[in-house]
A and B are shown apart, each in its own frame.
Chain A
Amino acid sequence: MHEFSIAEALATQVLRHAPPGRRVREVEIRVGAMRGLEPDAMQMCWDAVTHETALAGSVLVMDMLPWSLACPACGRVWESPVLFAECSCGEVSPRPTAGDELDLVSMTVDDDDGEPEATAAKGEAGAS
Protein backbone atom coordinates (compact mmCIF):
# COMPACT_ATOMS: atom_id res chain seq x y z
CA MET A 1 0.00 0.00 0.00
CA HIS A 2 2.04 2.93 -1.29
CA GLU A 3 -0.79 5.25 -0.23
CA PHE A 4 0.59 5.31 3.31
CA SER A 5 4.05 6.48 2.27
CA ILE A 6 2.50 9.04 -0.03
CA ALA A 7 0.20 10.30 2.72
CA GLU A 8 3.18 10.62 5.08
CA ALA A 9 5.21 12.52 2.49
CA LEU A 10 2.25 14.75 1.75
CA ALA A 11 1.64 15.57 5.41
CA THR A 12 5.30 16.55 5.88
CA GLN A 13 5.14 18.64 2.76
CA VAL A 14 1.94 20.41 3.80
CA LEU A 15 3.32 21.22 7.25
CA ARG A 16 6.43 22.63 5.63
CA HIS A 17 4.38 24.97 3.44
CA ALA A 18 1.66 25.88 5.93
CA PRO A 19 1.86 29.41 7.34
CA PRO A 20 2.67 29.18 11.06
CA GLY A 21 -0.35 29.21 13.34
CA ARG A 22 -2.94 28.87 10.61
CA ARG A 23 -5.19 25.88 10.62
CA VAL A 24 -5.13 23.82 7.44
CA ARG A 25 -8.68 23.09 6.33
CA GLU A 26 -8.16 21.48 2.98
CA VAL A 27 -5.34 19.93 0.96
CA GLU A 28 -5.69 19.42 -2.76
CA ILE A 29 -3.65 16.94 -4.78
CA ARG A 30 -3.61 15.91 -8.43
CA VAL A 31 -3.10 12.25 -9.24
CA GLY A 32 -2.38 10.73 -12.63
CA ALA A 33 -4.02 7.43 -13.55
CA MET A 34 -0.63 5.76 -13.92
CA ARG A 35 0.03 6.12 -10.20
CA GLY A 36 -2.53 3.48 -9.31
CA LEU A 37 -3.58 5.46 -6.27
CA GLU A 38 -6.75 4.17 -4.65
CA PRO A 39 -8.81 7.17 -3.42
CA ASP A 40 -10.46 5.32 -0.52
CA ALA A 41 -7.15 3.90 0.66
CA MET A 42 -5.51 7.30 0.29
CA GLN A 43 -8.28 8.97 2.30
CA MET A 44 -7.93 6.37 5.05
CA CYS A 45 -4.15 6.84 5.14
CA TRP A 46 -4.51 10.61 5.22
CA ASP A 47 -6.84 10.39 8.21
CA ALA A 48 -4.45 7.98 9.95
CA VAL A 49 -1.32 10.00 9.24
CA THR A 50 -2.85 13.33 10.31
CA HIS A 51 -4.60 11.95 13.40
CA GLU A 52 -3.70 14.05 16.45
CA THR A 53 -1.43 16.30 14.42
CA ALA A 54 -1.85 19.92 13.34
CA LEU A 55 -3.50 18.57 10.18
CA ALA A 56 -6.14 16.52 11.98
CA GLY A 57 -9.55 16.97 10.44
CA SER A 58 -8.24 18.49 7.23
CA VAL A 59 -10.03 17.45 4.09
CA LEU A 60 -8.01 15.77 1.37
CA VAL A 61 -9.31 16.62 -2.08
CA MET A 62 -8.05 14.28 -4.79
CA ASP A 63 -8.27 15.30 -8.40
CA MET A 64 -8.00 11.90 -10.09
CA LEU A 65 -6.92 12.56 -13.66
CA PRO A 66 -8.21 10.29 -16.42
CA TRP A 67 -5.90 8.62 -18.91
CA SER A 68 -4.78 10.82 -21.75
CA LEU A 69 -4.53 8.74 -24.91
CA ALA A 70 -2.98 9.63 -28.24
CA CYS A 71 -3.81 7.77 -31.43
CA PRO A 72 -0.72 6.83 -33.45
CA ALA A 73 -2.84 6.58 -36.61
CA CYS A 74 -4.90 9.76 -36.73
CA GLY A 75 -3.20 11.83 -34.03
CA ARG A 76 -6.33 12.37 -31.97
CA VAL A 77 -5.67 13.00 -28.27
CA TRP A 78 -8.45 12.46 -25.77
CA GLU A 79 -9.21 11.61 -22.18
CA SER A 80 -10.31 8.12 -21.33
CA PRO A 81 -11.40 6.42 -18.12
CA VAL A 82 -9.63 3.25 -19.26
CA LEU A 83 -6.12 2.64 -20.54
CA PHE A 84 -6.95 0.22 -23.31
CA ALA A 85 -9.39 1.95 -25.61
CA GLU A 86 -10.01 1.96 -29.33
CA CYS A 87 -9.79 5.25 -31.23
CA SER A 88 -12.81 6.47 -33.17
CA CYS A 89 -10.74 5.98 -36.34
CA GLY A 90 -10.58 2.25 -35.63
CA GLU A 91 -6.97 2.14 -34.44
CA VAL A 92 -6.75 -0.36 -31.58
CA SER A 93 -3.50 0.78 -29.96
CA PRO A 94 -3.75 4.37 -28.71
CA ARG A 95 -0.91 5.17 -26.31
CA PRO A 96 -1.02 6.93 -22.96
CA THR A 97 0.70 10.32 -23.08
CA ALA A 98 1.00 11.07 -19.35
CA GLY A 99 -0.37 9.80 -16.09
CA ASP A 100 2.43 9.95 -13.55
CA GLU A 101 1.32 13.22 -11.99
CA LEU A 102 1.36 13.28 -8.20
CA ASP A 103 1.33 16.90 -7.12
CA LEU A 104 0.34 18.98 -4.15
CA VAL A 105 -1.77 21.65 -5.84
CA SER A 106 -2.97 23.86 -3.03
CA MET A 107 -3.92 24.12 0.59
CA THR A 108 -6.65 26.14 2.19
CA VAL A 109 -5.90 27.70 5.55
CA ASP A 110 -7.74 29.85 8.06
CA ASP A 111 -7.10 33.54 7.71
CA ASP A 112 -4.94 35.15 10.33
CA ASP A 113 -7.26 37.42 12.39
CA GLY A 114 -8.95 38.90 9.40
CA GLU A 115 -5.72 39.44 7.58
CA PRO A 116 -6.13 37.56 4.35
CA GLU A 117 -2.44 37.39 3.60
CA ALA A 118 -1.05 34.33 1.88
CA THR A 119 2.51 35.56 1.63
CA ALA A 120 3.66 33.58 4.67
CA ALA A 121 3.38 30.45 2.56
CA LYS A 122 6.20 31.61 0.36
CA GLY A 123 8.69 31.02 3.16
CA GLU A 124 10.17 27.65 2.30
CA ALA A 125 8.36 27.05 -0.97
CA GLY A 126 11.28 28.23 -3.03
CA ALA A 127 13.90 26.06 -1.33
CA SER A 128 15.81 24.39 -4.17
Chain B
Amino acid sequence: MSEQVKTTRIPIVERVLEANDQLAETVRSELARRGIFAIDLIGAPGSGKTALLEATLRQLKGRRRPAVLVGDLATRRDGDRLARWCDRVVQISTGDGCHLEAGQVRDALTQLDLDGVDILFIENVGNLICPVGFDLGQAVKVGLFSLTEGDDKAAKHPYLVTAANLVLLNKIDLAPYVSFDRSGFEADVRLLNANVPILSVSATTGEGLDRWLDWLDRGVSGAQGARAT
Protein backbone atom coordinates (compact mmCIF):
# COMPACT_ATOMS: atom_id res chain seq x y z
CA MET B 1 0.00 0.00 0.00
CA SER B 2 1.35 3.39 -0.91
CA GLU B 3 1.46 5.53 2.19
CA GLN B 4 2.45 8.67 0.32
CA VAL B 5 -1.04 9.32 -0.99
CA LYS B 6 -2.99 11.71 1.14
CA THR B 7 -6.71 11.54 0.78
CA THR B 8 -9.66 13.73 1.60
CA ARG B 9 -13.10 12.56 2.60
CA ILE B 10 -15.79 14.61 0.90
CA PRO B 11 -19.20 14.48 2.58
CA ILE B 12 -22.07 14.53 0.11
CA VAL B 13 -25.38 13.04 1.33
CA GLU B 14 -27.60 12.70 -1.70
CA ARG B 15 -30.08 10.01 -2.61
CA VAL B 16 -28.47 7.41 -4.83
CA LEU B 17 -31.51 7.32 -7.11
CA GLU B 18 -31.71 11.11 -7.31
CA ALA B 19 -31.45 11.09 -11.13
CA ASN B 20 -34.33 8.61 -11.44
CA ASP B 21 -36.37 10.57 -8.92
CA GLN B 22 -35.92 13.79 -10.88
CA LEU B 23 -37.10 12.11 -14.09
CA ALA B 24 -40.04 10.69 -12.18
CA GLU B 25 -41.00 14.19 -11.04
CA THR B 26 -41.00 15.33 -14.66
CA VAL B 27 -43.34 12.48 -15.56
CA ARG B 28 -45.51 13.18 -12.53
CA SER B 29 -46.01 16.84 -13.35
CA GLU B 30 -46.82 16.06 -16.99
CA LEU B 31 -49.43 13.48 -15.93
CA ALA B 32 -50.83 15.86 -13.33
CA ARG B 33 -51.09 18.63 -15.93
CA ARG B 34 -53.16 16.30 -18.08
CA GLY B 35 -55.29 15.09 -15.16
CA ILE B 36 -54.17 11.49 -15.64
CA PHE B 37 -54.36 9.13 -12.66
CA ALA B 38 -51.30 6.85 -12.89
CA ILE B 39 -51.02 3.50 -11.16
CA ASP B 40 -47.78 1.57 -10.71
CA LEU B 41 -48.93 -2.06 -10.39
CA ILE B 42 -46.38 -4.21 -8.62
CA GLY B 43 -46.72 -7.92 -7.99
CA ALA B 44 -44.91 -11.24 -8.27
CA PRO B 45 -44.78 -13.24 -11.50
CA GLY B 46 -48.04 -15.14 -11.75
CA SER B 47 -49.89 -13.00 -9.22
CA GLY B 48 -52.31 -11.93 -11.95
CA LYS B 49 -51.19 -8.44 -12.88
CA THR B 50 -52.07 -8.83 -16.54
CA ALA B 51 -55.25 -10.77 -15.80
CA LEU B 52 -56.35 -8.04 -13.40
CA LEU B 53 -55.68 -5.37 -16.00
CA GLU B 54 -57.57 -7.36 -18.65
CA ALA B 55 -60.59 -7.60 -16.36
CA THR B 56 -60.26 -3.95 -15.38
CA LEU B 57 -59.93 -2.66 -18.95
CA ARG B 58 -62.98 -4.71 -19.95
CA GLN B 59 -64.96 -2.96 -17.21
CA LEU B 60 -63.63 0.48 -18.07
CA LYS B 61 -64.51 0.19 -21.74
CA GLY B 62 -66.76 3.11 -22.70
CA ARG B 63 -66.42 4.67 -19.23
CA ARG B 64 -62.79 5.72 -19.09
CA ARG B 65 -60.00 6.39 -21.54
CA PRO B 66 -57.16 4.24 -20.27
CA ALA B 67 -53.60 3.82 -21.43
CA VAL B 68 -51.24 1.04 -20.41
CA LEU B 69 -47.48 0.68 -20.15
CA VAL B 70 -46.37 -2.85 -19.57
CA GLY B 71 -42.89 -3.91 -18.55
CA ASP B 72 -41.69 -7.32 -19.52
CA LEU B 73 -38.24 -8.91 -19.58
CA ALA B 74 -38.42 -10.53 -22.95
CA THR B 75 -41.81 -11.09 -24.53
CA ARG B 76 -44.68 -9.08 -25.95
CA ARG B 77 -47.29 -11.45 -24.60
CA ASP B 78 -48.66 -9.17 -21.89
CA GLY B 79 -48.85 -6.22 -24.26
CA ASP B 80 -50.66 -8.32 -26.86
CA ARG B 81 -53.16 -9.55 -24.27
CA LEU B 82 -53.91 -6.02 -23.09
CA ALA B 83 -54.11 -4.57 -26.60
CA ARG B 84 -57.32 -6.54 -27.08
CA TRP B 85 -58.98 -4.31 -24.48
CA CYS B 86 -57.20 -1.01 -24.94
CA ASP B 87 -55.86 0.74 -28.01
CA ARG B 88 -53.19 2.65 -26.15
CA VAL B 89 -50.69 0.04 -24.98
CA VAL B 90 -46.92 0.35 -25.03
CA GLN B 91 -44.77 -2.65 -24.21
CA ILE B 92 -41.48 -1.81 -22.51
CA SER B 93 -38.97 -4.61 -22.95
CA THR B 94 -36.58 -4.35 -20.05
CA GLY B 95 -34.11 -6.99 -21.24
CA ASP B 96 -32.19 -7.93 -18.11
CA GLY B 97 -33.87 -5.25 -16.02
CA CYS B 98 -35.91 -6.55 -13.11
CA HIS B 99 -37.93 -3.33 -12.75
CA LEU B 100 -39.05 -0.26 -14.66
CA GLU B 101 -37.30 3.07 -14.26
CA ALA B 102 -38.62 6.59 -14.75
CA GLY B 103 -36.71 7.17 -17.99
CA GLN B 104 -38.39 4.15 -19.59
CA VAL B 105 -41.79 5.46 -18.60
CA ARG B 106 -41.01 8.92 -19.93
CA ASP B 107 -39.86 7.47 -23.25
CA ALA B 108 -42.82 5.10 -23.52
CA LEU B 109 -45.27 7.94 -22.90
CA THR B 110 -43.94 9.77 -25.96
CA GLN B 111 -45.24 6.85 -28.04
CA LEU B 112 -48.80 7.39 -26.83
CA ASP B 113 -51.45 9.90 -27.76
CA LEU B 114 -52.36 11.06 -24.26
CA ASP B 115 -55.13 13.42 -25.33
CA GLY B 116 -58.26 12.53 -23.42
CA VAL B 117 -56.56 9.77 -21.43
CA ASP B 118 -57.69 9.83 -17.81
CA ILE B 119 -56.10 6.73 -16.33
CA LEU B 120 -52.68 5.17 -16.88
CA PHE B 121 -51.79 1.69 -15.74
CA ILE B 122 -48.11 0.84 -15.49
CA GLU B 123 -47.68 -2.90 -15.13
CA ASN B 124 -44.26 -3.32 -13.60
CA VAL B 125 -41.97 -6.30 -14.14
CA GLY B 126 -43.07 -9.28 -12.05
CA ASN B 127 -41.05 -8.77 -8.90
CA LEU B 128 -41.91 -7.81 -5.32
CA ILE B 129 -38.59 -6.22 -4.42
CA CYS B 130 -36.72 -4.37 -7.14
CA PRO B 131 -39.51 -2.18 -8.57
CA VAL B 132 -40.42 -0.62 -5.24
CA GLY B 133 -37.45 1.71 -4.90
CA PHE B 134 -37.79 3.22 -8.37
CA ASP B 135 -40.21 6.12 -8.56
CA LEU B 136 -41.91 6.18 -11.97
CA GLY B 137 -43.91 9.36 -11.53
CA GLN B 138 -47.05 7.44 -10.60
CA ALA B 139 -49.81 8.84 -8.42
CA VAL B 140 -50.17 5.56 -6.53
CA LYS B 141 -48.46 2.24 -6.07
CA VAL B 142 -50.65 -0.83 -5.90
CA GLY B 143 -49.19 -3.98 -4.35
CA LEU B 144 -50.79 -7.08 -5.82
CA PHE B 145 -50.61 -10.33 -3.88
CA SER B 146 -52.47 -13.55 -4.51
CA LEU B 147 -53.73 -16.50 -2.52
CA THR B 148 -51.52 -18.97 -4.31
CA GLU B 149 -48.31 -17.17 -3.30
CA GLY B 150 -48.79 -17.88 0.39
CA ASP B 151 -49.90 -15.70 3.28
CA ASP B 152 -46.36 -14.72 4.33
CA LYS B 153 -45.60 -12.59 1.30
CA ALA B 154 -46.58 -9.24 2.82
CA ALA B 155 -44.31 -9.88 5.80
CA LYS B 156 -41.48 -10.90 3.50
CA HIS B 157 -41.79 -7.81 1.31
CA PRO B 158 -42.10 -4.94 3.77
CA TYR B 159 -40.89 -2.27 1.36
CA LEU B 160 -43.71 -2.89 -1.10
CA VAL B 161 -46.34 -3.06 1.61
CA THR B 162 -45.05 0.12 3.24
CA ALA B 163 -44.93 1.98 -0.07
CA ALA B 164 -48.32 0.77 -1.33
CA ASN B 165 -51.35 3.06 -1.51
CA LEU B 166 -53.54 -0.02 -1.97
CA VAL B 167 -53.02 -3.71 -1.34
CA LEU B 168 -54.93 -6.07 -3.60
CA LEU B 169 -55.35 -9.73 -2.77
CA ASN B 170 -56.12 -11.61 -5.97
CA LYS B 171 -57.40 -15.13 -6.74
CA ILE B 172 -59.89 -15.24 -3.87
CA ASP B 173 -61.93 -17.65 -5.99
CA LEU B 174 -59.26 -20.22 -5.10
CA ALA B 175 -59.84 -19.86 -1.35
CA PRO B 176 -61.43 -23.33 -1.01
CA TYR B 177 -58.37 -24.98 -2.53
CA VAL B 178 -55.41 -23.25 -0.91
CA SER B 179 -54.36 -22.73 2.67
CA PHE B 180 -54.12 -18.98 3.18
CA ASP B 181 -54.50 -17.22 6.53
CA ARG B 182 -56.24 -14.05 5.40
CA SER B 183 -56.39 -12.43 8.83
CA GLY B 184 -52.69 -13.16 9.37
CA PHE B 185 -51.88 -11.63 5.99
CA GLU B 186 -53.93 -8.55 6.82
CA ALA B 187 -52.30 -8.22 10.24
CA ASP B 188 -48.85 -8.20 8.58
CA VAL B 189 -50.02 -5.54 6.12
CA ARG B 190 -51.46 -3.44 8.95
CA LEU B 191 -48.25 -3.65 10.93
CA LEU B 192 -46.35 -2.16 8.01
CA ASN B 193 -48.94 0.24 6.69
CA ALA B 194 -51.66 0.91 9.23
CA ASN B 195 -54.17 2.69 7.00
CA VAL B 196 -53.69 1.15 3.58
CA PRO B 197 -56.92 -0.21 2.07
CA ILE B 198 -56.89 -3.96 1.42
CA LEU B 199 -59.23 -5.23 -1.28
CA SER B 200 -59.86 -8.87 -2.13
CA VAL B 201 -60.56 -9.61 -5.78
CA SER B 202 -60.72 -12.33 -8.35
CA ALA B 203 -59.62 -11.21 -11.79
CA THR B 204 -61.04 -14.48 -13.13
CA THR B 205 -64.57 -14.40 -11.71
CA GLY B 206 -64.85 -10.64 -11.28
CA GLU B 207 -65.55 -10.92 -7.55
CA GLY B 208 -64.57 -7.76 -5.68
CA LEU B 209 -63.74 -5.83 -8.82
CA ASP B 210 -66.48 -3.29 -8.15
CA ARG B 211 -64.64 -1.97 -5.11
CA TRP B 212 -61.38 -1.83 -7.05
CA LEU B 213 -63.13 0.09 -9.81
CA ASP B 214 -64.64 2.49 -7.24
CA TRP B 215 -61.18 3.07 -5.84
CA LEU B 216 -59.86 3.83 -9.34
CA ASP B 217 -62.80 6.16 -10.01
CA ARG B 218 -61.98 8.15 -6.90
CA GLY B 219 -58.36 8.38 -8.05
CA VAL B 220 -59.38 9.64 -11.48
CA SER B 221 -61.75 12.18 -9.95
CA GLY B 222 -58.95 13.41 -7.73
CA ALA B 223 -56.52 13.75 -10.64
CA GLN B 224 -59.06 15.54 -12.82
CA GLY B 225 -60.16 17.80 -9.98
CA ALA B 226 -56.56 18.74 -9.23
CA ARG B 227 -56.08 19.68 -12.87
CA ALA B 228 -59.23 21.79 -12.90
CA THR B 229 -58.09 23.95 -9.99
Contacts and interface: CB of A to CB of B under 8 A. Distances in A.
Report if A and B associate in a common complex.
Answer: yes
Interface of A: 1-2, 4-6, 9-10, 12-13, 17, 19, 25-26, 29, 34-36, 83-84, 93, 95-96, 99-100, 102-111, 114, 116-118, 121, 125, 128
B98 A2 contact: yes
A13 B14 contact: yes
Contacts of B133: 2, 6, 35, 100, 102
B86 interface: no
A104 to B, nearest CB: 5
Nearest to B25: A128
B129 A107 contact: no
A2 B12 contact: no
A2 B159 contact: no
Interface in B32-80: none
Contact of A106 (B9, B96, B192): B9
B162 A34 contact: yes
A24 B35 CA distance: 45
Main secondary structure of the interface of A (DSSP, over half): mixed
A2 to B, nearest CB: 4
Contact of A108 (B8, B18, B159): B8
Interface string B149-163: 000000100110011
A29 B16 contact: yes
Interface in B146-179: 155, 158-159, 162-163
Most A CB within 10 A of own CB, among B5, B10, B99, B192: B10
Given A9-B20, A95-B192, A109-B10, A102 B162 contact: no
Contacts of B97: 5
B12 A104 contact: yes
Contacts of B22: 128
Nearest to B127: A2
B134 interface: yes
A118 B8 CA distance: 7
